[in-house]
Chains A and B, each alone.
Chain A
Amino acid sequence: MSRATATIHGWLLLLPAMALLVLFTHWPALATFIDSFYSTPRPRRATHFVGLENYRQIADDPIFWQALSNNLWFALGTIPVSIALAMIMALWVNDRIAGRTLVRMAYFTPTVLPMIAIANIWLFFYTPQYGLLAQVLSAFGGASHNWLGSKDTALACVTLVAVWKEAGFFMIFYLAALQQIPPSLAEASALEGASRFYFFRRVQFPLLMPTTLFVLVNAVINAFRTVDHIIVMTRGGPDNATSLLLFRVYELGFNFWDTSLAAALTVLLLMGLALTALAQYLFLERRIHYR
């Protein structure tokens, strides 16, 4: 096949997917960027160029800074904890413990449930007085506490829900990677008299690094795009204590209908995501041992 024919065939095959990608990914991304420099169209005032005004408004908005800090805490809470838990779960399930099929199922089940169903279940779990948490605590003599209604605990509560949902999903990838480590390595290090912990630290853990990078990228993206449970459980409250960046975009765009502000915030969110992805590849890629 000549190159010209190949080019025609290639682009024809690509055309339907590319058209939809342009329409629903590339164009909206570009339009979001452009819109972020214009004012929101209002009934009596058409949209006009405002330069960096939208960004200045965001920078002056305390709720934005709160959402940013919430989101960073949320990421800092979910990412390391769910990755560490996933690794421990995978190590346990990989060993031949009694009933490991059941245990694996228990860890993985939250992954197939809709986030919205999970949020409903946990909402009930956290309910003051009636919820399981309140009942267990009162059995031990603890005072009833409004977990989601209090500014001090609400963010930690929604973070825990995200960890619960994600850890089992990441476990699967670690499990697959663990099963690909040749048994001869364990045998050799046992002959050398290495302890189990030493074997984990010097053999298993380094060999799991590519999986960790993959999981890490996913965990970071999830930390900035998971807002379903916020909408169900707290709607960003109390007093914006659980407002995350994407939730703020949703609030600005679809509650206040200030689409230009929402566009500017989307641009910031996308830039943040792109920068973290880049940083992860630049800094971690070098330190990873690939087989």
Chain B
Amino acid sequence: MSARAASEVYAPAGAGRFLETAAAWMLAILWMLPLLYAVWTAFHPGEYSTRFEPLAPLTLSNFARAWDAAPFARYFLNTFLLVTLILACQLVLCTLAAYAFARFDFTGSGIAFALVLAQLMIMPDVLIVENYKTMGRLGILDSIPAIALPYVASAFGIFLLRQTFKTVPRELEEAARVEGAGPLQILLKVYVPLARPIYLAYGLVSVSYHWNNFLWPLIVTSSVESRPLTVGLQVFSSGDQGIDWSIICAATLMTSAPLLGGFLLFQRQFVQSFMRAGIR
């Protein structure tokens, strides 16, 4: 028996196979239905938004109208700045902290690690009232750094990188030290390059999380200059648009498009990244 066949002794055959495929496809279609419905509405003139005729004319005018009705260009820029700022700061801070936990046997490291892990349970999402007060005291309410700050020191990122750094063989570090490298050089020359797949995985997870984040940005922003896309979309669709579903669907798809497009293009990387980041 070949290895491939052996792994498939329980692969369904005959009628069972047909039933399983049919069920999997049924669920898949059901799963895509709300999204397909929104796509249909966004790409057809308003009068077809709830009538399904295969030959209905296609149009992009809903997107054009949505784009003109709200400052989406500014929202895109804000979201782009926000996710870049968060990711850049997270990468630096988490790398440094993870390096300390992985390779320095220092006094108080146990307590410090417990303090970091506490954030996994006490999430910034829940501490909205107090963090809002803090931003007020710092005088940075309604700014992009105010949205970013609570998320920059990420316990998840520190934990993920620490696990990765721990798997790096000590010999590599010793070799670099013999050549005269200091702690920071060792970090940059040995550890960071070896953890590249984890950085990619963490980056994808972080970008998609913060692109999609809503509650905290909603609370802390109040002007077009700092609102990210998600909040902009909410202001737009609950505003004076009435219930023009074609425009709202177009705006909704538009705001999700970069992430969705990236996902469809790099599906394997996305899925593997989420697996890596979750399993550690």
Any A CB within 8 A of the CB of B225: no
Nearest-neighbour CB distance to chain A for B130, whole angstroms, equals 4
Any B CB within 8 A of the CB of A60: no
Any B CB within 8 A of the CB of A291: no
Q: Which B residues are in CB contact (< 8 Å) with A117?
A: 230, 233, 252-253, 255-256
Distance of A211 Cα from B27 Cα, bound (Å): 23
Interface of A is mostly: helix
Q: Which B residues are in CB contact (< 8 Å) with A279?
A: none
Given A26-B115, A29-B127, A105-B267, the answer on whether A186 and B104 have CB atoms closer than 8 Å is no
Stretch in B35-43, B55-63, B69-77, B192-200 touching the partner:
B35-43
Any A CB within 8 A of the CB of B234: yes
Most chain B beta-carbon neighbours within 10 Å: one of A32, A250, A269: A32
Nearest-neighbour CB distance to chain A for B68, whole angstroms, equals 19
How many residue pairs at the A-B interface have CB separations less than 8 Å?
286
Cross-chain contact B116 with A21 (CB below 8 angstroms): yes
Given A11-B106, A113-B260, A124-B248, the answer on whether A225 and B125 have CB atoms closer than 8 Å is yes
Q: Which A residues are in CB contact (< 8 Å) with B107?
A: 3, 7
Given A17-B97, A130-B50, A132-B37, the answer on whether A259 and B133 have CB atoms closer than 8 Å is yes
Cross-chain contact A25 with B245 (CB below 8 angstroms): no
Nearest-neighbour CB distance to chain A for B37, whole angstroms, equals 5
Distance of A106 Cα from B125 Cα, bound (Å): 28
Distance of A17 Cα from B101 Cα, bound (Å): 12
Nearest-neighbour CB distance to chain B for A163, whole angstroms, equals 11
Nearest-neighbour CB distance to chain A for B157, whole angstroms, equals 9
Nearest-neighbour CB distance to chain A for B190, whole angstroms, equals 15
Q: Which B residues are in CB contact (< 8 Å) with A277?
A: 121
Distance of A97 Cα from B248 Cα, bound (Å): 36
Cross-chain contact A116 with B233 (CB below 8 angstroms): yes
Partner of A89, one of B17, B27, B219, B271: B27
Identify which of residues 21-40 in chain B touch chain A, using a CB-to-CB cut-off of 8 Å: 21, 23-25, 27-29, 31-35, 37-38
- Which single residue of chain A is at the shortest CB-CB distance from B177? A1
Cross-chain contact A24 with B134 (CB below 8 angstroms): yes
Any B CB within 8 A of the CB of A20: yes
Given A26-B115, A109-B260, the answer on whether A6 and B105 have CB atoms closer than 8 Å is yes
Any B CB within 8 A of the CB of A81: no
Given A95-B20, A97-B21, A108-B271, the answer on whether A249 and B106 have CB atoms closer than 8 Å is no
Cross-chain contact A199 with B10 (CB below 8 angstroms): yes
Distance of A101 Cα from B130 Cα, bound (Å): 45
**B237-280 CB contact bits vs A (8 Å, 1 = yes)?**
11000010100110011011001100110010011001100110
The 3 closest A-B pairs by CB, nearest first: A10-B106, A183-B7, A28-B130
